Homo-oligomer: A and B are copies of this chain.
Amino acid sequence: MKNPVAAFAAFGILTLGSVAAAQDTAALPVTIVIHGGAGALAPGRYTPAKEAQFIAKLNEALDAGYAILEDGGAALDAVEAAIVTMEDSPLFNSGKGAVFTRDGKNELDASIMDGATLNAGAVTGVTTVKNPIRLAREVMENSVHVMFAGNGADKFAEQQGLEIVEPEYFYTEHRWKSYEEALKREKEQKDSAISHDFKYGTVGAVALDASGNLAAGTSTGGMTLKNFGRVGDTPIIGAGTFADNKSCAVSSTGHGEYFIRLTIARDICAQVEYAGKTVEDAAKDVIHGRLETLGGGGGVIVLGADGAFAMVFNTPGMFRGVKSASGVNTTAIYGD
Contacts of A271 in B (CB 8 A): 270, 274
- Report yes or no: B149 in contact with A149, Cβ–Cβ below 8 A: yes
- Report yes or no: A119 in contact with B227, Cβ–Cβ below 8 A: no
Q: How far is it, in angstroms, between the C-alpha of A160 and the C-alpha of B134 when the chains are bound?
A: 36
Instruction: Known A237-B236, A261-B118; judge A230-B270 contact (CB<8 A).
Output: no
Most chain B Cβ neighbours within 10 Å, of A227, A237, A263, A266: A263
Q: Which of B149, B150, B192, B228 contacts A155 (CB 8 A)?
A: B228
Shortest beta-carbon distance from A271 to chain B in Å: 6
Nearest B-chain residue to A275, judged by Cβ = B274
State which residues 111-158 of A face B: CB under 8 Å. 113, 118-120, 122, 124-125, 143-153, 155-156
- Asked if A32 CB lies within 8 Å of chain B CBs, one says no
Q: How far is it, in angstroms, between the C-alpha of A124 and the C-alpha of B146 when the chains are bound?
A: 14
Mask: chain A, 219-246; 1 = CB below 8 Å from B; 0 = not: 0000000111111100011110010000
Q: Which residues of A contact B (CB under 8 A)?
A: 113, 118-120, 122, 124-125, 143-153, 155-156, 192, 194-195, 226-232, 236-239, 242, 256-257, 260-263, 266-267, 270-271, 273-275, 294
Q: 10 A-B residue contacts at CB 8 Å?
A: A125-B149, A143-B227, A144-B194, A147-B231, A148-B230, A149-B149, A152-B227, A263-B266, A270-B273, A273-B274
Given contacts A113-B261, A155-B228, 17 further A-B contacts (CB under 8 A): A122-B231, A125-B149, A144-B192, A144-B195, A145-B230, A147-B260, A148-B229, A149-B149, A149-B231, A150-B151, A152-B228, A152-B229, A153-B229, A156-B229, A270-B270, A270-B273, A271-B274
The 10 closest A-B pairs by CB, nearest first: A152-B229, A270-B270, A274-B274, A238-B263, A147-B231, A152-B228, A238-B238, A274-B275, A149-B149, A263-B266
